[in-house]
Amino acid sequence: MTDLALDAESLRERAVTSLITARDRTTLLTGCVDEPDLTAQHSPLMSPLVWDLAHIGNQEEQWLLRAVAGQEAIRPEIDSLYDAFEHPRSERPRLPLLSPDEARRYAADVRGRALDVLESTAFDGTRLTEAGFAFGMIAQHEQQHDETMLITHQLRKGPQALTAPDPDPVPLFTGPSEVLVPGGPFTMGTSTEPWALDNERPAHRREVPPFWIDTTPVTNAAYLAFIEDGGYDDPRWWTAEGWAHIRRNNVTAPLFWRRDGGQWLRRRFGITEVVPPHEPVLHVCWYEADAYARWAGRRLPTEAEWEKAARHDPAGDRSTRYPWGDADPGPEHANLGQRHLRPAPAGSYPAGESPLGVRQLIGDVWEWTASDFLPYPGFRAFPYREYSEVFFGSDYKVLRGGSFAVDPVACRGTFRNWDYPIRRQIFSGFRTARSEDV
Ligand SMILES: [Fe+2]
């Protein structure tokens, strides 16, 4: 039996486990700093951590208690405070937010009731409860805010608050630097993954001409060669918007990097360290990724190319859930779930490679693609327009594959993330591609 054919009881168990895993991580991220740190705004790009905490509870209340179970609002007066569309992040510290203790109590109260609802809800009723979708959606939502809170931790000044073991060391990767993905149609997106979000649907055929793609994400050492070659001073490598952006904002290296004499240092969760050469480059914006690729005589892969490299199994002409097949991610496959606070060296996780031999597509760093965030043919907004539909268009670029900060419940071969091309506080890196005839 594949994971897609799980029965209702297994899905219910998966929902309980996913909700508990998410809450354990939320508790870790909000419990390792003191009250002033929870209510402070560490960057205008981010909410105070205490906003994320109560917002997690409020979304859970709105979807699981009210929409699924038809319950009355617990605290209707706070809905608007925690509505992400009503208040931009920069405004949130000035709102009359719940205190850290109130936020904790509220989120715990909602969770207790939500687990009761989960026990008593049939998984074959409405579209919202079919296969436990709403519970999976809420677990993914909390994990996505946990990733956001981890970004806040990275932006926060002050001593280290979080610790985690480093990924296992691996021998220097000496395999081929790129892999040929044969041309032809493949199945992109999904119509069967029970907790896939609206923008991943429906499955559809895409024609993709043959192309070469990097075996691993671009490393710090490779990116340093671009810097040392004057990459940030040469407009030839940049789009007009990218060039204007880096000049205006004095962008000369990845975020959190600084030159110290003859070496480059970076700040990572409160510690300063030498930039590790063989680790995938992190905290670059789309413009930087695009410029590097042009300098290297290459380009960013399109979103369809990325997904074909990750999911297409030429042997069976089918698309798998993950590069390694249909099994849920394990620690041998990918660096996910905040087990580590950094990407693993390039070439890690041979058990997670695709049938064609492409590595680290899932986990480690989000990978910028060349593509704008657009709906698939046959897209239908569900359960609300604000999940994806309002973001479609040319303002956002798609990122794929998830990072070390993404939990397995919120990561699939079909999962799509999107952000502005200037963003780099996110855990973003990239790999490059070229058309077969170039
Ligand atoms: Fe949210």
DSSP of 175-235: S-SEEEEPPEEEEES-SS-TT--GGG-S-EEEEE--EEEESSPPBHHHHHHHHHTTGGG-G
Q: What residue type is 316 in one-letter code?
A: G
In 10 A of CB 18, how many CB atoms? Answer: 23
CA of 381 to the centre of ligand 1 (A): 17
CA of 120 to the centre of ligand 1 (A): 26
CA of 215 to the centre of ligand 1 (A): 34
CA of 224 to the centre of ligand 1 (A): 35
Is the preceding omega at residue 331 within 30 degrees of 0, hence cis? no
CA of 337 to the centre of ligand 1 (A): 18
Which residues contact residue 224 at a Cβ distance below 8 angstroms, ignoring those fewer than 6 apart?
A: 264, 275, 277
pLDDT at 423: 98
Type and span of the H or E element at 52:
helix 49-60
Q: What residue type is 418 in one-letter code?
A: W
CA nearest to 198, candidates 432, 346, 39, 416: 416
Which residues contact residue 289 at a Cβ distance below 8 angstroms, ignoring those fewer than 6 apart?
A: 218, 300, 368, 428, 429, 430
Phi–psi pair at 348, nearest 5 degrees: -70, 165
pLDDT at 54: 98
CA of 270 to the centre of ligand 1 (A): 26
CA of 59 to the centre of ligand 1 (A): 7
CA of 292 to the centre of ligand 1 (A): 32
CA of 239 to the centre of ligand 1 (A): 32
CA nearest to 405, candidates 268, 254, 255, 301: 268
Answer positive or negative: Cα dihedral of 42, 48, 53, 57.
negative
Q: What does each of the 438 residues of the chain score in pLDDT, given as a tens digit?
A: 344 457 889 999 999 999 999 999 999 999 999 999 999 999 999 999 999 999 999 999 999 999 999 999 999 999 999 999 999 988 898 999 999 999 999 999 999 999 999 999 999 878 999 999 999 999 999 999 999 999 999 999 988 999 999 999 999 999 999 999 999 999 999 999 999 999 999 999 999 999 999 999 999 999 999 999 999 999 999 999 999 999 999 999 999 999 999 999 999 999 999 999 999 999 999 999 999 999 999 999 999 999 999 999 999 889 999 999 999 999 999 999 999 999 999 999 999 999 999 999 999 999 999 999 999 999 999 999 999 999 999 999 999 999 999 999 999 999 999 999 999 999 999 999 999 976
CA of 79 to the centre of ligand 1 (A): 12
CA of 87 to the centre of ligand 1 (A): 12
CA of 148 to the centre of ligand 1 (A): 10
CA of 89 to the centre of ligand 1 (A): 11
Q: How far apart are CA 395 and CA 316, in angstroms?
A: 37
pLDDT at 124: 83
CA of 218 to the centre of ligand 1 (A): 31
Query: DSSP character for 302?
Result: P
Task: Provide the phi-psi class of 269: left if phi over 0, else alpha when psi is between -120 and 50, else beta.
Answer: left
CA of 84 to the centre of ligand 1 (A): 7
CA of 131 to the centre of ligand 1 (A): 22
CA of 57 to the centre of ligand 1 (A): 10
CA of 406 to the centre of ligand 1 (A): 15
pLDDT at 437: 78
Cα 166 to Cα 136, 152, 301, 343: the distances in Å are 29, 20, 29, 9
Q: What is the pTM of this model?
A: 0.96
CA of 8 to the centre of ligand 1 (A): 27
CA of 229 to the centre of ligand 1 (A): 41
Which residues contact residue 298 at a Cβ distance below 8 angstroms, ignoring those fewer than 6 apart?
A: 432, 433, 434
